[in-house]
Amino acid sequence: MKPGQWVVAGVSVAHQHASVEDLEAAAAPSQRDAVGNLLTEPGIEEAFVLQTCNRVEGYVVAGSEDVANAALENVFHTDNEDSAVQMSHEESLRHLLRVAAGLESVVLGEDQIMGQISDAYEDALGVGGIGPVLEDAVTKAIRVGERARNETAINEGALSLATAAVKLATQEGEIDGKTALVVGAGEMATLAAKSLADTVDKLLIANRTIPHAEHIAAVTDVDASAIGLDAIPQAVDHARIVVAATGSRQPVVPAIAFEDAGETFVVDIAQPRDVPAAVREHDNVTLCDLDALETVTEETRAERREAALVVEDIVDVEFDRLLTQYKRSRADRVISAMYESAERVKAKELDTALSKTDLDAETEAVVESMADSIVSQLLAAPTQSLRDAAEDDDWSTIHTALQLFDPDFGPSEDEDGPPAFVEGMAIEDIPAGMREQMPSAVLEQLDD
């Protein structure tokens, strides 16, 4: 991929247009695995993947949108074609900023997405997915998320996906003074446990690693106990509400555990699901998943809508800044290629000239300094022109410069003639502005 020639593309499988089954089908065993898979696709230079309980998204950098889209289609599979929304260069960048701002969340403005994006960044960085393009994009997204929450009331109140699950449970049935079971010990599980502690009399925390569950039990203001996953069937017998939120790739709450249980309300906010759909066959069980939380969160969305309008403005401003940043970066890479090409020609011509003279070291240094000055002065004007062209979206000028100042510009070590891209051209065929920037040795050979 030549300097300045790249695009970003993305795909989103998210709660707005995908079911829980679609999310499960699209998700990889881990974010690191998904990034690694994308990087093995032909033509992919950088990759970033975000997997949460309500979204699976991939972003890649490639030399063309067709190459990028082909890679995304190969890695993210769903049975429902409508669930995977492909995003072009600008669409994907704006979408990532909106995700970080909380505008795309089930719970408008929720804070958990910030930590999830940071974790995804570290995962992608760890397997070599983050390069200069996505570095700018993800750090800008984090910046937007911080501004949204520091400068507006988009996250006002305590409602998160986990607390929405508890709110749904209280709306569906009486849980005051009852026992609750939380499965998991991550951030979502912790938030659910703390929210439940305000209502229930007893709390059971089940996790594969019991010390992690013990930590949650210790920070909740209620009678709480930690148990292992093998004790879940016995815990279900005593629980009026079950909230499941692990990161397991397989269900951890067996359907058989509910056969002899009393009336039980289950909220599964894990992705993939912790509780098999088969539990719905039990008359005594009400199972709600992410789709059911949409109705609960609509009230919060309405309350935060005014703040969301301000956040939209923040996204617009920062999006424009990101595009400008990329434009300057593209121009700078072309400029760098231009200077590298000129430097190679200068060095070759200097070696040739100095080999034919018998100058002392001090005089040679003066000649070399003069050559450096000539190159700098000749390239000063086109440098500014390229930066102006980038600001004005004049990519035809940028591409012309890429062709004229290709990294292979100038004769190679075993060539004495002009570079391949000008062979057979007459001097008058070369734009006047570019002729002024080309080394005299090349022009002389063209003139001959």
Q: Which residues are catalytic?
A: 53
Separate counts of helices (H) and strands (E) for the chain: 16, 10
Distance CA 392, CA 224 (A): 62
232 token code pair:
């879940």
Spatial separation of the C-alpha atoms in residues 246 and 107, rounded to whole Å: 19
Question: What value does the CA radius of gyration of the chain take, rounded to a whole number of Å?
Answer: 30
What are the backbone angles phi and psi of residue 415, rounded to the nearest 5°? -120, 140
Residue pair 89/9 in contact by the 8 Å Cβ criterion? yes
Indicate the burial class of 11 (C-beta count within 10 angstroms; 0-12, 13-18, 19 or more).
buried
User: Across the beta sheet with 202-206, what order do the strands follow?
Assistant: 223-227, 202-206, 179-183, 241-244, 264-268, 285-288
279: CB partners within 8 A, 6+ apart? 253, 255, 258, 266, 285, 287
